[in-house]
Amino acid sequence: MISFKNRLIWITGASSGIGKELALKLAREGAHLIISSNDAEELSRVADECREFTSFCQEYPFDLSNPEEVQETAETIVNTHDQIYLLINNGGISQRSLVKDTPIEIDRRIMEIDYFSYVILTKAVLPGMIEAGEGFIAATSSISGKFGFPLRSAYAAAKHAIQGFFETLRAEVKPYNISVTIAYPGRIHTNISLNAIDHNGRKHGKMDSGQLNGLSAQECARQYIRAIKKRKPEVLIGRSELIMVHLKRFFPDIFFRIVTKINPK
């Protein structure tokens, strides 16, 4: 299996949740890390933890909702450091609002964070990987990237877009020995619902029961990294909720009856 020891890895959304656990696990493997988030204070704490295990961990806080800032940071990192061996596009934000109540500005904000930032960063590191003839790119989607779900219209749209973009990318970069993995987490015990935004752009501020009783972020990170190392095109991570993905594919009529009855919170 692939080793990431002494390899340069860039992880976004690394100040908490899945991103934090990815950083810590890869640090324990001896990877060299660049970690990013919009929360500079928490990111610094994660960096300090990572430095207990790895000789190199540098933080770059920036805002994924600002495309100019994303582009500038990407250019700085690419021009400052050696080739990024693995990019994990993991930063993001969720949503808790009905379509009829959600202004287009909120849709655009979520798409900017959850989709376009991934595209900008991927395009920034791709030339270096192509030149080196090797590399790994990963994108954190969601099972909402496999089907729509109430209160998450823009979030599901962004995650569906991730699938289309990165599946296309995978086919295009295969000749350059670049692997692309999409992760589809289900209900993971993180603060994603607390930080989700409503139709006014305010934080939801509630821990949904699905997250509260979900798979641990540590186990999610373990399965995620294992899938990347095995060059899997995609990986579903979660518990019983993953059955919805299979129902949608093989029994869509049953799926559509069930999805309207599930508590979206």
Quickly list DSSP for 76-88: HHHHHSS--SEEE
Looking up tokens 């995609």 gives 234
Question: CA-CA distance, 184 to 204, in Å (whole number)?
Answer: 22
Strand partners, 181: 138
Angle between helices 252-259 and 243-250 (to 10 degrees): 130
* Segment holding 42, helix H or strand E: helix 40-50
Which tokens in the block code for residue 237?
């991570």
CA 201 → CA 6, 48, 70, 97, 195, distances in Å?
40, 31, 21, 10, 10
Which residues are known catalytic residues? 155
Please give the angle made by the CA atoms of 192, 207 and 184, to the nearest 5 degrees: 35
Please give the angle made by the CA atoms of 227, 2 and 187, to the nearest 5 degrees: 20
